[in-house]
């Protein structure tokens, strides 16, 4: 990888909402991060793979909430369920199955509301609040960023 390619990657990374990026090609390894020191990263890579490493952000700060945990919005009774990592969101376990939850459905804390596919791995996203799905903020099959709101839930 030459200097121009690295500069181009740095510029793209700087403009993106990504917090981490890692590229491995043969004996060359490039790792970029916009994280604060108290953030921790869990790295997942299939055994024997030559592909870049996928990183799943996981907050360990005492002041921040775990990934996927709803946060209070402007209204005290409305929470958001956010994407715990970057990937493609699906509202059903497979195309021929019914959706986990739709607008107006009741959801219990700990219940699966959707899945996110990242690096050919399907990961469940669970609600950390009990209430009613009041708004779906992304489209099925769309790419979501880390910490991007997926659902709004009216508590209660």
Does the pLDDT at position 125 exceed 80?
yes
Instruction: Provide the total of helices (H) and of strands (E) in the chain, helices listed first.
Output: 1, 13
Please write the tens of the pLDDT for every residue from 33-51: 776 544 444 444 444 444 4
What are residue 68's DSSP bridge partners? none
More confident residue, 75 or 88: 88
> At 8, is the pLDDT very low, low, confident or very high (cuts 50, 70, 90)?
confident
DSSP 73-89: -SSTTEEEEE-SSSEEE
More confident residue, 115 or 22: 115
Q: Choose the weakest-confidence range: 22-31, 38-47, 58-67, 119-128.
A: 58-67
Which residues lie closer than 8 Å to 112 by C-beta, 6 or more apart? 100, 124, 125, 126
Max CA separation in the chain (angstroms): 56
Of the options 2.40.50.100, 1.20.1740.10, 1.10.357.10, 1.10.3720.10, the CATH number for the domain spanning 71-155: 2.40.50.100
What pLDDT, on a 0 to 100 scale, did the predictor assign at position 130?
95
Query: Structural domain boundaries of the chain?
Result: 3-59, 71-155
pTM of the model: 0.53
Euclidean distance between CA atoms 116 and 126, whole angstroms: 11
């Amino acid at each position: 990888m030459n200097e121009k390619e690295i500069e181009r990657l740095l510029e793209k990374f700087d403009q993106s909402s990504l917090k981490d990026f890692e590229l491995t090609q043969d004996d060359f390894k490039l790792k970029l991060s916009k994280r604060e020191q108290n953030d921790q990263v869990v790295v997942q890579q299939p055994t024997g793979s030559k592909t870049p490493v996928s990183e799943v952000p996981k907050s360990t700060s005492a002041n921040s909430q775990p990934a996927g945990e709803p946060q209070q919005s402007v209204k005290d009774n409305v929470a958001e369920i956010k994407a715990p990592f970057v990937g493609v969101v699906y509202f059903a376990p497979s195309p021929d199955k019914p959706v986990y939850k739709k607008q107006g459905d009741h959801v219990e804390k700990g219940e699966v509301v959707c899945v996110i596919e990242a690096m050919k791995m399907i990961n469940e996203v669970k609600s950390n609040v009990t209430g009613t799905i009041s708004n779906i903020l992304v489209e099925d099959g769309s790419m979501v960023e880390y910490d991007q709101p997926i659902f709004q839930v009216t508590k209660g």
